[in-house]
Amino acid sequence: MTERGQQAGGGGPDRQQGEGLAPGEQEQLVYALETRFAAHREAAAAAVRESERGLEEARERLARAEQAVADERYTSDPLVFMRQGLHEEVDGLERRTNPKKVRTSYRFLLDRAVELAAGEVQGFHDDQAAARREREDGVAACRAAEQRATETVEAARVMHDRVLAAERSARQGLDLLVEKLSAPADV
């Protein structure tokens, strides 16, 4: 037999081109197919599991964020009252006529103004931190993360289905190969 005949028939040197399957060859072909697809099948299943875990984590974060909003109590801004108080201190200083009382009122006004300035700076930093937390961990951010996780799960499932479809196609091809090589040769 020629070298080309051996390659086309896939058999050994004693097989003629067009012969059927050798004993045990079908099992070897099935084993080869399964081993070549095993890693891909497992990787696809792992991707689906990982994306489902991500979705569950996103849902848990959303639930915690919604609970935090529900548990949050109203707190008034003390700076509003401090600003108003400072204006009242300035008005009071204007009404003072005694130099000793003017000096005392001014020192008190200065202390309140410094406290207000410190509170304004701290309030700004607190507001920025709260805005950053809201962007990262707020209800809207958690809903967006849940939506992305849902889309990832769907994409992973589609990919998994495609891997399984590719394996099914290979199995159909193997079935056709076995059928054609097992059928009696047309003479």
Residue with tokens 């108003």: 84
Query: What pTM did the predictor assign?
Result: 0.65
Q: What is the pLDDT of residues 95-153, one digit of tens each?
A: 988 999 999 999 999 999 999 999 999 999 999 998 998 888 899 999 999 999 999 99
Query: Is the separation of the CB atoms in 93 and 106 below 8 Å?
Result: yes
Check whether 18 has a pLDDT greater than 80: no
Burial classification of residue 11, based on how many CB atoms lie within 10 Å of its CB (0-12 exposed, 13-18 middle, 19 or more buried) = buried
**Distance between CA 113 and CA 109 in Å, rounded?**
6
Query: Is the separation of the CB atoms in 129 and 110 below 8 Å?
Result: no
DSSP state for residue 185 in the 8-state scheme: P
Half-sphere exposure of 106 (CA within 13 A, CB side): 9
Mean pLDDT of the chain: 87
DSSP secondary structure string, 42-107?
HHHHHHHHHHHHHHHHHHHHHHHHHHHHHHPPP---HHHHHHHHHHHHHHHHHH--SHHHHHHHHH
Q: Which two tokens stand for residue 48?
A: 């689906």
Question: What pLDDT band is residue 182 in, cutting at 50, 70 and 90?
Answer: confident
Q: What is the pLDDT of residues 53-68, one digit of tens each?
A: 999 999 999 999 999 8
Q: Which two tokens stand for residue 151?
A: 């889309």
